[in-house]
């Protein structure tokens, strides 16, 4: 690899000849501002915020795309550079709707940070006629696109293409009336969006955000006629702390539950419990299908997992011919809600219509899932409200709770008890690993080596495969993380339909730890740290230190079946814990 000598702000260094000016500045410890740039994702030089001065060359150059050359001398902080950046920010600000006090990105808005850094004046001032009118392009159960806060950086478009693989978002119209959204002003709901939320994670402003349910939940907590129960997804405990200054990958489970108690929830449960129940139901279903295949009876394999609502939307839209392959199990969120109202309520001696279930989830797609018509039992909704990890953090701040100063709390109720297998649902490969721990042990009737499934872990590959010996039978399984990798998996299945027995799908790369409702990570930090690995490690650490690590060994789950469900896959289970799917058509609504 050839190198060149360059100077950045009088700092000499030697870098690869393939480096950009921004790469060289980073190595020199010089921070170059940027708004549209994300290395490996969006390198379009659209915002003109990263401009620098290069000695001997007329005009300012975009540091994100211009490569270095021998003896290049660069200034990133000259008066000329700073004035150009300030001018560009002024133009962007003139077309921006400022309501920072109520914007969910007020704490971590990259645009607002730059305005403060460069001391940009109030371009609107007292003349409200200059203010850009608020235009909501799309509102759905999960996602809101607000064009009045869009800086047209293109990061959401790139994320939708690279990570979701759906390319739903793009530029529409031209000039001053251009905006980002689905083609021809169609509703986001029927344009092929799967609500993975990658667009939100990569947006530098509040132009893309989850549909907020905070006010509704706070109002609910004030109503004495309802018994309000919280459930928290596995991955939330590994990410919530980031909102309060903890390092990425810190497990804050105890403080999280104490905060929920202080917010006014009457009862605290853990979705990990339902994850264990999911393994009992899904594992039984898989064993049943496998036995039918071995007996040459009609069945559908490979079986697909059904925990990720983004994945469910994807298959219903793009591969409806494979709907019979899906496990009929509801997601853990919906199972937990159904069990709270139809099992736990009786234990508490509370009418189920007086119970309200609020889910804390890493995923904006969970909001839409909870509102699906089929997600109810005898007219009673499984889940009433869904909050993302980010919304919970905002609720805690709004309630002026000192999160870092809280004493830890461990809920004692039966639906808060979980195993290590339930915890790792939050990481890619975790559902498959948890299922195989139980399936292999039940079929072989002996303790399994929990390290036998380590090949299913990790985020380096979009698709992982492994062949596991189960009771003398070689079973090939696969794990897919990131919906952009789904078409390749479907190609493999079509090419060799008898190869795979069981496939786990997660819409988000890395699984739920990287869900669209998780804390926003600054673009510069994302270039330095793989947040998916750090967050997932927190879950694996919790799994390794948990006394019980297999779902079928959970005493509370055993009691559930003994006292209520009777058997996995039985009549009551199918009534409460299983569902059905249907094909979704596109572009029916405007």
Instruction: Give the active site residues.
Output: 282, 285, 307, 327, 366, 369, 374, 512
Calculate ∠ Cα 164-170-172, nearest 5°: 160
DSSP string computed for 444-498: HTS---GGGGGGG--SS-SEEEEEEEETTEEEEEEEEESGGGHHHHHHHHHH-TT
Q: By the 8 A CB rule, do 65 and 104 touch? A: no
With CA atoms as reference, report the closest residue to 67 among 130, 3, 9, 127.
3
The tokens describing 159, both together, are: 């994320």
With CA atoms as reference, report the closest residue to 104 among 177, 203, 252.
203
DSSP string computed for 410-454: ---SGGG---HHHHGGGSTTHHHHHHHHHHHHHHHTS---GGGGG
Non-local CB neighbours of 459 within 8 Å, separated by 6+ positions: 428, 481, 509, 510, 530, 532, 533, 536
The tokens describing 282, both together, are: 């899904």
Q: By the 8 A CB rule, do 244 and 432 touch? A: no
How many CB atoms neighbour CB 69 within 10 A?
12
Q: What is the CA radius of gyration of the chain?
A: 25
Q: By the 8 A CB rule, do 247 and 531 touch? A: no
Check whether the bond before 302 is cis (ω within 30° of 0).
yes
């Amino acid at each position: 690899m050839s190198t060149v000598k360059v100077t950045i702000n009088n700092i000499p260094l030697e870098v690869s000849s393939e480096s950009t000016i921004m790469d060289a500045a980073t190595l020199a410890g010089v921070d170059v501002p940027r708004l549209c740039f994300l290395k490996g994702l969006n390198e379009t030089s659209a915002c003109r915020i990263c401009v620098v001065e290069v000695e001997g060359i007329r005009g300012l150059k975009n540091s994100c795309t211009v490569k270095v050359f021998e003896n290049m001398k660069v200034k990133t902080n000259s008066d000329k550079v700073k004035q150009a950046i300030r001018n560009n920010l002024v133009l962007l600000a003139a077309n921006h709707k400022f309501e920072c006090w109520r914007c969910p990105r007020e704490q971590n808005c990259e645009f607002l940070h730059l305005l403060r850094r460069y001391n940009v004046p109030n371009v609107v001032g007292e003349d409200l006629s200059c203010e850009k009118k608020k235009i909501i392009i799309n509102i759905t159960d999960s996602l809101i696109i607000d064009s009045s806060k869009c800086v047209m950086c293109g990061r959401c478009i790139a994320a939708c293409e690279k990570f979701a693989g759906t390319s739903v978002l793009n530029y529409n119209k031209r000039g001053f009336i251009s905006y980002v959204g689905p083609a021809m002003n169609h509703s986001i709901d029927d344009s092929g969006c799967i609500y993975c939320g990658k667009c939100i994670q990569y947006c530098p402003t509040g132009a893309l955000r989850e549909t907020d349910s905070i006010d509704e939940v706070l109002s609910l907590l004030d109503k004495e006629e309802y018994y309000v129960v919280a459930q928290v997804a596995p991955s939330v405990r590994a990410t919530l702390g980031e909102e309060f200054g903890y390092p990425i990958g810190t497990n804050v489970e105890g403080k999280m539950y104490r905060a929920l108690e202080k917010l006014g929830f009457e009862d605290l449960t853990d979705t990990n419990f339902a994850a264990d129940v999911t393994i009992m139901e899904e594992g039984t279903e898989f064993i049943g299908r496998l036995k039918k295949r071995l007996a040459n009876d009609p069945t559908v394999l490979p079986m697909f997992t059904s925990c990720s609502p983004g994945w469910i939307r994807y298959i219903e839209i793009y591969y409806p011919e494979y709907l019979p392959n899906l496990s009929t199990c509801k997601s853990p969120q919906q199972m937990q809600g159904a069990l709270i109202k139809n099992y736990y309520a009786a234990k508490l001696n509370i009418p189920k219509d007086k119970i309200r279930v609020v889910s804390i989830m890493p995923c904006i797609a969970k909001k839409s899932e909870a509102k699906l018509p089929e997600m109810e039992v005898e007219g009673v909704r499984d889940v009433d409200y869904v909050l993302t990890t980010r919304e919970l953090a905002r609720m805690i701040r709004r309630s002026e709770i000192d999160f870092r100063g809280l004493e830890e709390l461990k809920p004692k109720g039966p639906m808060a008890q979980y195993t290590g297998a339930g915890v790792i649902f939050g990481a890619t490969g975790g559902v498959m690993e948890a299922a195989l721990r139980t399936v292999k042990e039940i079929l072989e009737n002996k303790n399994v080596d929990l390290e036998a499934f380590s090949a299913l872990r990790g985020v380096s590959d979009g698709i992982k495969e492994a062949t596991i010996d189960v009771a003398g039978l070689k079973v090939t399984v696969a794990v897919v993380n990131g919906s952009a990798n789904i078409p390749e998996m479907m190609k493999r299945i079509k090419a060799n339909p008898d190869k795979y027995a069981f496939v786990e799908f997660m819409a988000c790369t890395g699984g739920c730890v990287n869900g669209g409702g998780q804390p926003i990570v600054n673009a510069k930090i994302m270039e330095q740290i793989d947040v998916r690995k750090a967050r997932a490690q927190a879950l694996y650490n919790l799994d390794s230190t948990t006394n019980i690590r297999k779902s079928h060994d959970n005493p509370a789950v055993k009691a559930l079946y003994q006292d209520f469900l009777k058997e996995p896959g039985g009549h009551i289970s199918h009534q409460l814990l299983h569902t059905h799917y249907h094909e979704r058509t596109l572009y029916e609504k405007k």
